[in-house]
Amino acid sequence: MDILETDAYDRRQRRNMSCALFFSLLPFFLSTVVYFYLWTPDSTPSIMSAGVKSAPTLLLAAVVLSWNGGHSVLGVVGGLIFSAVGDCCLIWPELFLHGMGAFAVAHLLYSLSFLSSRYVSDSSSSSSSWIRLLYLILVILGVCFYIFLYPYLQKVPNSDLLVPGVGIYIGLISLMGALAIRTRHVATLLGSLIFMVSDLFLALQVFKVIENMQNGNAVVMVTYYLAQLLIAVGDVKAVEDKDNFSKWKRS
Protein backbone atom coordinates (compact mmCIF):
# COMPACT_ATOMS: atom_id res chain seq x y z
CA MET A 1 0.00 0.00 0.00
CA ASP A 2 2.85 2.34 0.85
CA ILE A 3 4.43 1.68 -2.54
CA LEU A 4 1.19 2.52 -4.35
CA GLU A 5 0.79 5.71 -2.35
CA THR A 6 4.37 6.72 -3.09
CA ASP A 7 3.90 6.06 -6.81
CA ALA A 8 0.69 8.12 -6.87
CA TYR A 9 2.47 10.93 -5.02
CA ASP A 10 5.32 10.89 -7.54
CA ARG A 11 2.86 11.09 -10.43
CA ARG A 12 1.15 14.08 -8.82
CA GLN A 13 4.53 15.72 -8.31
CA ARG A 14 5.44 15.22 -11.98
CA ARG A 15 2.11 16.67 -13.10
CA ASN A 16 2.56 19.66 -10.82
CA MET A 17 6.08 20.22 -12.12
CA SER A 18 4.92 20.02 -15.74
CA CYS A 19 2.21 22.61 -15.07
CA ALA A 20 4.64 24.90 -13.26
CA LEU A 21 7.17 24.55 -16.09
CA PHE A 22 4.51 25.36 -18.68
CA PHE A 23 3.49 28.55 -16.86
CA SER A 24 7.12 29.61 -16.47
CA LEU A 25 7.48 29.28 -20.26
CA LEU A 26 4.55 31.60 -21.02
CA PRO A 27 6.82 34.69 -21.35
CA PHE A 28 8.87 32.78 -23.93
CA PHE A 29 5.76 31.93 -25.96
CA LEU A 30 4.53 35.53 -25.71
CA SER A 31 7.87 37.01 -26.81
CA THR A 32 8.01 34.57 -29.74
CA VAL A 33 4.56 35.71 -30.88
CA VAL A 34 5.71 39.34 -30.56
CA TYR A 35 8.77 38.61 -32.71
CA PHE A 36 6.75 37.08 -35.54
CA TYR A 37 4.14 39.83 -35.27
CA LEU A 38 6.73 42.63 -35.57
CA TRP A 39 9.17 40.95 -37.94
CA THR A 40 9.27 42.02 -41.58
CA PRO A 41 11.78 40.67 -44.13
CA ASP A 42 12.95 44.12 -45.25
CA SER A 43 13.12 45.78 -41.84
CA THR A 44 16.19 47.93 -41.13
CA PRO A 45 18.61 46.40 -38.60
CA SER A 46 18.28 48.16 -35.25
CA ILE A 47 18.88 47.66 -31.54
CA MET A 48 15.14 47.19 -31.06
CA SER A 49 14.90 44.41 -33.67
CA ALA A 50 17.93 42.71 -32.11
CA GLY A 51 16.29 42.88 -28.69
CA VAL A 52 12.99 41.49 -29.95
CA LYS A 53 14.75 38.64 -31.75
CA SER A 54 16.94 37.64 -28.79
CA ALA A 55 14.24 38.06 -26.11
CA PRO A 56 12.75 34.53 -26.42
CA THR A 57 16.17 32.91 -26.04
CA LEU A 58 17.07 35.06 -23.04
CA LEU A 59 13.74 34.23 -21.40
CA LEU A 60 14.46 30.53 -21.90
CA ALA A 61 17.83 31.07 -20.19
CA ALA A 62 16.02 32.69 -17.25
CA VAL A 63 13.63 29.74 -17.00
CA VAL A 64 16.44 27.14 -16.95
CA LEU A 65 18.40 29.24 -14.45
CA SER A 66 15.39 29.50 -12.13
CA TRP A 67 14.83 25.74 -12.23
CA ASN A 68 18.39 24.39 -12.24
CA GLY A 69 20.37 27.10 -10.46
CA GLY A 70 23.74 28.68 -11.14
CA HIS A 71 25.55 25.42 -12.00
CA SER A 72 23.74 25.49 -15.36
CA VAL A 73 25.49 28.73 -16.40
CA LEU A 74 28.37 26.71 -17.85
CA GLY A 75 25.86 24.57 -19.68
CA VAL A 76 22.47 25.17 -21.27
CA VAL A 77 21.99 28.60 -19.68
CA GLY A 78 25.35 29.77 -21.03
CA GLY A 79 24.52 28.27 -24.42
CA LEU A 80 21.22 30.15 -24.53
CA ILE A 81 22.93 33.41 -23.60
CA PHE A 82 25.55 33.01 -26.33
CA SER A 83 22.75 32.08 -28.74
CA ALA A 84 21.06 35.38 -27.88
CA VAL A 85 24.33 37.15 -28.67
CA GLY A 86 24.38 35.33 -31.99
CA ASP A 87 20.77 36.38 -32.63
CA CYS A 88 21.76 40.02 -32.18
CA CYS A 89 24.81 39.73 -34.42
CA LEU A 90 22.89 38.14 -37.28
CA ILE A 91 20.61 41.17 -37.45
CA TRP A 92 23.53 42.94 -39.13
CA PRO A 93 24.93 40.98 -42.15
CA GLU A 94 28.44 42.35 -41.58
CA LEU A 95 28.48 40.65 -38.16
CA PHE A 96 27.73 37.18 -39.55
CA LEU A 97 31.13 35.80 -38.52
CA HIS A 98 30.67 37.13 -34.99
CA GLY A 99 27.24 35.55 -34.80
CA MET A 100 28.57 32.22 -36.05
CA GLY A 101 31.29 32.37 -33.40
CA ALA A 102 28.72 33.04 -30.66
CA PHE A 103 26.64 30.07 -31.77
CA ALA A 104 29.75 27.90 -31.92
CA VAL A 105 30.41 28.71 -28.25
CA ALA A 106 26.75 27.92 -27.52
CA HIS A 107 27.09 24.47 -29.09
CA LEU A 108 30.26 23.85 -27.09
CA LEU A 109 28.45 24.75 -23.86
CA TYR A 110 25.50 22.53 -24.79
CA SER A 111 27.95 19.70 -25.40
CA LEU A 112 29.55 20.20 -21.98
CA SER A 113 26.10 20.15 -20.40
CA PHE A 114 25.13 16.91 -22.16
CA LEU A 115 28.30 15.32 -20.76
CA SER A 116 27.47 16.34 -17.19
CA SER A 117 26.18 14.05 -14.46
CA ARG A 118 22.75 15.74 -14.65
CA TYR A 119 21.96 13.56 -17.65
CA VAL A 120 21.41 10.10 -16.23
CA SER A 121 21.59 7.49 -18.96
CA ASP A 122 21.40 3.72 -19.10
CA SER A 123 24.71 2.48 -20.46
CA SER A 124 23.47 -1.01 -21.34
CA SER A 125 25.46 -2.80 -24.02
CA SER A 126 22.30 -3.65 -25.99
CA SER A 127 21.81 -0.03 -26.98
CA SER A 128 25.44 1.14 -27.13
CA SER A 129 25.95 -0.30 -30.62
CA TRP A 130 22.98 1.67 -31.92
CA ILE A 131 24.31 4.81 -30.26
CA ARG A 132 27.69 4.37 -31.94
CA LEU A 133 25.98 3.83 -35.28
CA LEU A 134 24.01 7.06 -34.85
CA TYR A 135 27.26 8.86 -33.97
CA LEU A 136 28.81 7.62 -37.18
CA ILE A 137 25.80 8.60 -39.29
CA LEU A 138 25.79 12.09 -37.80
CA VAL A 139 29.52 12.57 -38.45
CA ILE A 140 29.20 11.33 -42.04
CA LEU A 141 26.27 13.68 -42.69
CA GLY A 142 28.24 16.61 -41.29
CA VAL A 143 31.27 15.85 -43.46
CA CYS A 144 29.10 15.37 -46.56
CA PHE A 145 27.29 18.65 -45.99
CA TYR A 146 30.59 20.53 -45.61
CA ILE A 147 31.93 18.98 -48.82
CA PHE A 148 28.71 19.95 -50.59
CA LEU A 149 28.88 23.51 -49.22
CA TYR A 150 32.60 24.01 -49.89
CA PRO A 151 32.34 25.33 -53.50
CA TYR A 152 29.74 27.88 -52.44
CA LEU A 153 31.85 29.05 -49.49
CA GLN A 154 34.72 29.82 -51.87
CA LYS A 155 32.54 32.27 -53.80
CA VAL A 156 31.45 34.49 -50.89
CA PRO A 157 33.30 37.49 -49.41
CA ASN A 158 35.65 36.60 -46.53
CA SER A 159 35.96 33.09 -47.90
CA ASP A 160 39.41 32.81 -46.32
CA LEU A 161 37.69 33.02 -42.91
CA LEU A 162 34.41 31.34 -43.74
CA VAL A 163 35.86 28.16 -45.27
CA PRO A 164 37.64 27.04 -42.06
CA GLY A 165 35.09 28.78 -39.81
CA VAL A 166 32.11 26.92 -41.24
CA GLY A 167 34.06 23.65 -41.02
CA ILE A 168 34.72 24.20 -37.32
CA TYR A 169 31.11 25.22 -36.77
CA ILE A 170 29.77 22.08 -38.48
CA GLY A 171 32.12 20.01 -36.34
CA LEU A 172 30.85 21.61 -33.13
CA ILE A 173 27.16 21.33 -33.98
CA SER A 174 27.69 17.70 -35.03
CA LEU A 175 29.41 17.04 -31.70
CA MET A 176 26.49 18.65 -29.91
CA GLY A 177 24.05 16.42 -31.80
CA ALA A 178 26.08 13.30 -31.08
CA LEU A 179 26.23 14.05 -27.36
CA ALA A 180 22.49 14.75 -27.37
CA ILE A 181 22.01 11.20 -28.65
CA ARG A 182 24.14 9.98 -25.72
CA THR A 183 21.77 11.59 -23.19
CA ARG A 184 18.81 9.46 -24.41
CA HIS A 185 16.49 12.35 -23.51
CA VAL A 186 13.85 12.76 -26.21
CA ALA A 187 13.44 16.53 -25.82
CA THR A 188 17.21 17.11 -25.83
CA LEU A 189 17.75 14.88 -28.86
CA LEU A 190 14.89 16.41 -30.87
CA GLY A 191 16.01 19.93 -29.97
CA SER A 192 19.56 19.29 -31.10
CA LEU A 193 18.52 17.66 -34.38
CA ILE A 194 16.01 20.42 -35.16
CA PHE A 195 18.75 22.98 -34.41
CA MET A 196 20.93 21.27 -37.02
CA VAL A 197 18.10 21.31 -39.57
CA SER A 198 17.47 25.01 -38.88
CA ASP A 199 21.15 25.87 -39.40
CA LEU A 200 21.31 23.72 -42.52
CA PHE A 201 18.38 25.58 -44.05
CA LEU A 202 19.91 28.93 -43.06
CA ALA A 203 23.27 28.00 -44.61
CA LEU A 204 21.62 27.00 -47.89
CA GLN A 205 20.11 30.49 -48.14
CA VAL A 206 23.01 32.55 -46.80
CA PHE A 207 25.58 30.92 -49.07
CA LYS A 208 23.29 31.10 -52.13
CA VAL A 209 22.90 27.36 -52.58
CA ILE A 210 19.19 28.00 -53.05
CA GLU A 211 17.28 31.18 -53.78
CA ASN A 212 15.89 32.98 -50.76
CA MET A 213 12.39 31.69 -50.27
CA GLN A 214 9.51 34.03 -49.43
CA ASN A 215 9.01 32.41 -46.03
CA GLY A 216 12.56 31.10 -45.67
CA ASN A 217 13.42 33.19 -42.62
CA ALA A 218 10.17 32.21 -40.93
CA VAL A 219 11.03 28.51 -41.38
CA VAL A 220 14.51 29.10 -39.94
CA MET A 221 13.21 31.00 -36.92
CA VAL A 222 10.34 28.62 -36.15
CA THR A 223 12.68 25.64 -36.14
CA TYR A 224 15.32 27.62 -34.23
CA TYR A 225 12.98 28.69 -31.41
CA LEU A 226 11.51 25.17 -31.24
CA ALA A 227 15.00 23.68 -30.96
CA GLN A 228 16.00 26.04 -28.15
CA LEU A 229 12.73 25.34 -26.32
CA LEU A 230 13.27 21.58 -26.47
CA ILE A 231 16.90 21.86 -25.32
CA ALA A 232 15.85 24.07 -22.40
CA VAL A 233 12.98 21.78 -21.36
CA GLY A 234 15.26 18.76 -21.76
CA ASP A 235 17.75 20.29 -19.34
CA VAL A 236 15.06 20.95 -16.73
CA LYS A 237 13.67 17.42 -17.14
CA ALA A 238 17.16 15.93 -16.89
CA VAL A 239 17.51 17.27 -13.35
CA GLU A 240 14.11 15.83 -12.43
CA ASP A 241 15.01 12.44 -13.89
CA LYS A 242 18.31 12.46 -12.00
CA ASP A 243 16.50 13.15 -8.72
CA ASN A 244 14.02 10.34 -9.40
CA PHE A 245 16.90 8.00 -10.33
CA SER A 246 18.70 8.84 -7.07
CA LYS A 247 15.54 8.13 -5.07
CA TRP A 248 15.15 4.78 -6.85
CA LYS A 249 18.76 3.78 -6.04
CA ARG A 250 18.26 4.63 -2.36
CA SER A 251 15.04 2.63 -2.11
Give the DSSP letter string of the chain.
-HHHHHHHHHHHHHHHHHHHHHHHTHHHHHHHHHHHHH--TTPPP-HHHHHHHHHHHHHHHHHHHHHH-GGGTTTHHHHHHHHHHHHHHTTSGGGHHHHHHHHHHHHHHHHHHHTSTTS-----HHHHHHHHHHHHHHHHHHHHHHHHHHHHHTTSTTHHHHHHHHHHHHHHHHHHHHHHHHHT-HHHHHHHHHHHHHHHHHHHHHTTSSPPPTTHHHHHHHHHHHHHHHHHHHHHHHHHHHHHHHHHHH-
On whether the CB atoms of residues 231 and 179 are closer than 8 A, the answer is: no
pLDDT at 39: 82
Containing domain of residue 192, as a range? 2-250
pLDDT at 157: 87
Q: What is the pLDDT of residues 181-215, one digit of tens each?
A: 888 899 999 999 999 999 999 999 999 898 877 78
pLDDT at 14: 65
Q: What residues of the chain score a pLDDT lower than 50?
A: 1-6, 9, 126, 244-251
pLDDT at 120: 62
Number of domains the chain contains: 1
pTM of the model: 0.88
pLDDT at 118: 77
